[in-house]
Each structure stands twice: as structure tokens, then as C-alpha cells.
Chain A
Amino acid sequence: MPLDVPAIRSQFPIFQREINGKRLVYLDSAASAQKPQVVIDAMVEVWSHSYANVHRGLYSLAEEATLAYEGARAKFARFINATDVGEIIHVRNATEGINLVAYSWGEEHIHEGDRIVITELEHHANLVPWQQLAKRKGAELAYIPVTDDGSLDLTVLPDLLEEGRTKVVACSVMSNVLGTLPPVSEIAAMAHAAGALVVMDGAQAAPHMPLDVQTLGADFMAFSGHKLCGPGVGVLWGRRELLESMPPFLYGGDMIVTVKRDDSKWNVLPHKFEAGTPPIAEVVGLGAAIDYLTAIGISNIQQHERRIIPYAMARLREIPEIRVLGPAPSERGAVVSFIMDGVHPHDIASVLDEEGICVRAGHHCAQPIHDRFCVPASARASFYIYNDEEDVDALVAALRKTVSLFARRQSTPR
């Protein structure tokens, strides 16, 4: 079913405002998505009517808050087809989820001489935790390389897995720079056959495609609520046996069952990994966001983007000064990063801002992949449910304007 983009836009209060006197064209959802009124209302509702701390109070308000909070957890489980809500850990964001795994699982299972495999297209969130773990342990960090067309070169993987030294393979389900959709199930099958665990970074993929942890073959998967039209909370899913065997990541209240002067016992899953008071209204808000996106239909969202992306790439190709990074339209998610001859990405973003268009400029927290393509930075347009062809046209018109603004004039040498 095609999305009714004007109707969707009207559900997001932010689209009522203007930027520099222009219609807001928001093309930075890959960094963070805008929030529909229902999500804002859900959080206001918690704060206005049902707020208390969770898991502690014996009064009815506390029970209401706990029910809403735990109800959201069940929604997150259904969203990624996890059968066991105890496997859903609320974290701050995908970054924290991956750090939790790298510290809690990694500290115990990575030893000197082991190998950790990641890919060249990882976001720093799925790179630095592994890089630093490898450094702490004297382990090796190996990269699956990216080809010129922006896909992963899996031919190296059998060698990397061969000697059984590889203990974990961490891979993004969708690249936030190139839009690449790595064959994560295939990677998982190979890794598992070699006895390695698989950590999937679902931060970029979760808003755009159905994620099913049962069929993807992940052992851990992390994603962020703020990219799903929700607030700043995240989810880590992990297989129960692994989570059970891991030590806590943070210590304190809520994550214990008993505390004695000299020792403590840990709470059951998922609470063992949720120390301290959680962001209660935010978790409920993310539940509302997931309801909202599910009602639209993640597959419908995916179909919508499969229409926008080829259109955007075809229109960008009309501008000869622009080079798009990454794979063909059919092989990518809803992000398009590009460079423009002779114009720094910062300047592109600033000129576009004048036109009310928000794009990201820089290395998008993924420096190694920019190094791979020998560019210091790029500009990135990313698309979501509230974007349509009209937004692409606005982008292309503003980019043409940028080209002409920067066209080198004949001026007298200084």
C-alpha cells in the first residue's frame, strides 16, 4: 500500500514550522527521525497521568507505570520477532547496546590472540567498542573490506574464520553512509559454522525493513528508538543463554535480587542489565512509535523507499558535478551520500539550509569508510515516511543552486 505522505506529514508537528522562511525539507532521518504527535502525546500522558518509578512502588500509580513500561518491552519483542521478552534489554541507544556486549560478553570471552571481525562500513558505534576491546585484550581486529561499488567483499571471510580464532563477527544490517545492505544472514551462517557469535547493528535498518531475529541469525542485535520516530532510548536483544551467562554491565538498584554487605545476587533477565531508574516515559514513547510505524506497515515503508531511492539517484545523476557513493538503487536502503566537485560538504549543507533543507555533512560517524573511498567527508540525504519526490526535487534544485554559486568566477588574482 503506498504511503499517504501529506497525511503522514500532518501527523508530525515539526512540519508546521518553516526554516529560513522555507518549507522544512527534512532529509536527515538517518541521523534521527522526527516525532509524530502520537509519540509526543504518549510521553506527555505518562508524565501527566501515570508517572511513578517502576518495579518498586506498591501503590496503583506505580503499578500503572510499570505496566506501561513493561508493555512497551513486549512491543519491542514483537517488533523484531523475539519470543522471549526477557531477551529485550532497554538501553540508552544502539551505541550503549553494543558497548554492553563488548564489555560484558567481550571481557570474558575475548583473549589474547583471538580475532574480532567487523566490516569497513561500520558506524563508529559498532567499531570503536570492538577496536578498544581488541586493544585491551591483545586480540586482532580484522575488517571485511568494501568493494568499489560499496558492497562487502565476503571472499576474505572464510580465511578470517578458518583457524577458529574468530570469536565474534559484528556487522551493520544497513550502512548509514552507503546504504549498503550486507548479506547478514549469510555472514551469520558462516560465522556460526566457525563457532563465532554474531552481533548485528540494526540502528539504521530497524526503521526501514522488517527485522526478524529468528531468521537473521543474530546472537545480539541493537537499535535506537530515536531513529524510529521515538525518543532517546534503545534496545539490545540477545539470546537468553548468552545473556544468562554474562556478568552485569552496570551495577546498582533494580538489577539485584539481594544485596549483602559482601556480595550480591543478580536479578533475572532483563532486569539484570537494567541498573537504576530507566527512562520510563521514553520507553513508553518508543512503544507508541513502534505502534505508529507498525500501523503504517514496515513493508509499506520499505516499498515507499524503494520508489524514492531510484528517483533520488536518477535526479542526482542529472548534476554532473555530483558523485554518489555506494551501491545501485536496488541494493541500498534510504540513504544517499554524495560529494560535489570543488565544494566541501559543509558548504553544501549550509547552502541547502538556506532553502529549508536539512542534510548531514561530515563523516557521519564512519571515518574508515570515507577513508576507503578517499574522501574526507560527504553530504548525505536520507529519506523516511514523510519524504516524497517533491522533497527530492527541492534537494536537486538547491544542489543546482549550490553548483552555480560555487562556479569559479573569472576574478583578478589577488
Chain B
Amino acid sequence: MSHDLYREQLLDHYHNPANYGVLEPADVDIEMDNPTCGDRIHLTARLDSEGHIAAVMFEGQGCVVSMAAASMLTEALVGKAPEEVNRMGLEDVEEMMGGVKLSMGRVKCAMLSLNATKQGLRDAGKLA
């Protein structure tokens, strides 16, 4: 699987992440970490007048999988309703990452940013 994992597309997102930084002001503002591996993410998002995601930014530290997933997610989430985000799962993340098949040990790295988004939306009262 790793050949897949370290192909150009993901490495490129790792080295040149999209939407890196902090949105101010933001409707969603959350920090989350993966204590077992030290991945850490700070994710901020703004919603539009219909409550859909208008913009997402992140900053953090971690492995290629967690950082590339976060970078790609900031692009993929725009326009989605909170409930849509909430329905997203591992398969969506794998597909978003170009169809990689993640090994068991890397799933939590890949899911960090999505889990953070969901938790952030919940904390902000945007999700039941």
C-alpha cells in the first residue's frame, strides 16, 4: 500500500498543503490530536447563510496521511451541509485521497481531520 501512499499527489499536499492557516472569525474552531502518534490538527471553518460549509482552514503537525487528508478535506468539504459531513466515513476519505487503501494502523491518521470537523460542528451546535 505504501507505494500508493507516497505517490506525488499525497506528497504534494503534504509539502504544499491547501488552506493552511486559521480562519478568523470562524464558526467552527477545534483542536484534536492523535496521542498515540503525535498527529495534531487545528481546524477552523466558516458556514454560509444556508449553513453550508463556505471555507475551511487547518494547521497542524503529523504524518503524510494525516496532513494530506486534512489538506484535501479542506477542499472537499466546501459546499457541504453539516449532516452530509457527518455521514462521511473512511471510504469517502480513501476515495478523496485518490483511492488509497489504508492499512489498519493509518486509518486514525487519515480520519483525524474529518473527526475533528464533525466534533467541531457538534461543539458549535451545527449538528444534532
Contact = CB atoms under 8 A, between A and B. Distances in A.
Given A344-B38, A354-B2, 7 more contacts: A344-B61, A344-B64, A354-B3, A362-B37, A376-B38, A376-B61, A411-B15
Interface string B4-32: 01100001100111100000000000000
Contacts of A412: 16
Size bracket, chain A contacts: 20 to 34
B16 A377 contact: no
Interface of B: 2-3, 5-6, 11-12, 15-18, 35-40, 61-65, 105-106, 109
B62 to A, nearest CB: 6
Contact of B38 (A350, A351, A377, A414): A377
A344 B14 CA distance: 11
Interface string A259-285: 000000000000000000000000000
B37 A350 contact: no
Contacts of A350: 2, 5-6, 106
B63 A344 contact: yes
A345 to B, nearest CB: 8
Given A351-B2, A354-B3, A363-B36, A408 B64 contact: no
Interface string A335-359: 0000000001111001101100000
B41 to A, nearest CB: 13
A405 interface: yes
Contacts of A353: 2
B91 to A, nearest CB: 21
Contact of B6 (A351, A363, A409, A411): A351
B62 A344 contact: yes
Contacts of A373: none
A377 B109 CA distance: 14
Nearest to A342: B15
A367 B18 CA distance: 31
Contact of B15 (A351, A361, A376, A409): A409
A361 B62 CA distance: 12
Nearest to B105: A346
